[in-house]
Amino acid sequence: MVNPVAFTLGPLSIRWYGIMVASGFLAAYWLMNRRARRYDFKPDDVADLTFMAMLAGIIGARVLYVIRYWHEFSGHALDMFKVYQGGLVFYGGFIGAVIAIVILARRRHWPLGRVADLMAPALPLGHAFGRVGCLLNGCCFGMPYDGCCAVHYPAFVEPGVINPVLDIQLRLGVVDLAPELSHCAPVLPIQAIATIGNLAICAALLWLEKTGRCRNRLFIAYMIIYSVGRFLLEFGRGDYITRVAGLTPSQITCLWLLPAALGAYAVSQWWQRRKNHAKS
């Protein structure tokens, strides 16, 4: 595997994870900026949307990660702020970004449907870059797997410092610690699969946008597609110590997100038909 540290600036280590997350935000901004005219937004509006989503998204993603893995920070409070080392939960970032965008849209008097549709394809594009960062960082890794394209993470990130991947595999009984151990048990490249899936979602949403389908419902379509894909993908994850009824926290989130999104889609369709009937 590639060294998770891209380069160092004095005492500061710049990790590939942080570079890929930043690249994801830039890619999302680029895609929104290219499509802004379709939704009557100016470049400055897109910049404001991107900045607010980035700031609130990172805060929300980190807060949920700290809550979920509090045991990692109970004796190292300052580590909570080392976001560049990894440790973000997508759904926390999603919630944080949505709240910030809703507030911004209300203050600017922007139609929320247009804002949501503008951002919908950009979300999976940015997420795809983030998952590449996860692959290079060794977080959100897959279940034990020794077939084609299996990922082999080193057992130690530096002499005497155990790799978090190995730590979880030891706790799950996947591997036994031995003096000659140099690598963790090989794992499924689930982050790469997630990257491909997110790019496919982005392409599907752009196609729906081009055909004129799902007008004012593009964001809802994203939530439906993503929640189904994420639920299935989670079965390939290998980084969870505990599960509830065999399900990961993200799968449980999908179980309420999908019905909510389907309900929102149905209500939106009903409202659109009602408006069309009133016009006729």
- Which structure tokens are listed for 243? 């599960």
Give the confidence band of 280 by pLDDT, cuts at 50, 70, 90.
low
- Which structure tokens are listed for 3? 């060294």
Task: Map tokens 């499509």 to a residue.
Answer: 35
Phi, psi for 163 (deg, rounded to 5): -70, 135
Between CA 106 and CA 94 the distance in angstroms is 18
Tens of pLDDT along 21-50? Answer: 999 999 999 999 999 999 999 999 999 999
Inter-residue contact 195 to 132 (CB < 8 Å): yes
Task: Map tokens 């804002």 to a residue.
Answer: 115
Q: State which amino acid sits at residue 208.
A: L
Comparing 78-82, 168-172, 188-192, 263-267, the range with the smallest average pLDDT is: 78-82
Between CA 234 and CA 77 the distance in angstroms is 29
**Domain definitions of the chain by residue range:** 5-151+186-273
Between CA 212 and CA 111 the distance in angstroms is 18
What is residue 84's predicted lDDT score, i.e. its pLDDT? 65
Asked whether residue 215 is marked as a ligand-binding residue, the answer is: no
- Which structure tokens are listed for 103? 């507030």
Residue percentage of the chain with pLDDT more than 90 = 69
What is residue 193's predicted lDDT score, i.e. its pLDDT? 98
Tens of pLDDT along 100-125? Answer: 999 999 999 999 999 999 999 999 99
Per-residue pLDDT at 271 exceeds 70:
yes
- Which structure tokens are listed for 147? 């077939």
Quote the pTM value: 0.90
User: If you ran DSSP here, which 8-state letter would residue 74 be given?
Assistant: T
Looking at the DSSP bridge assignments, the partners of residue 7 are 14
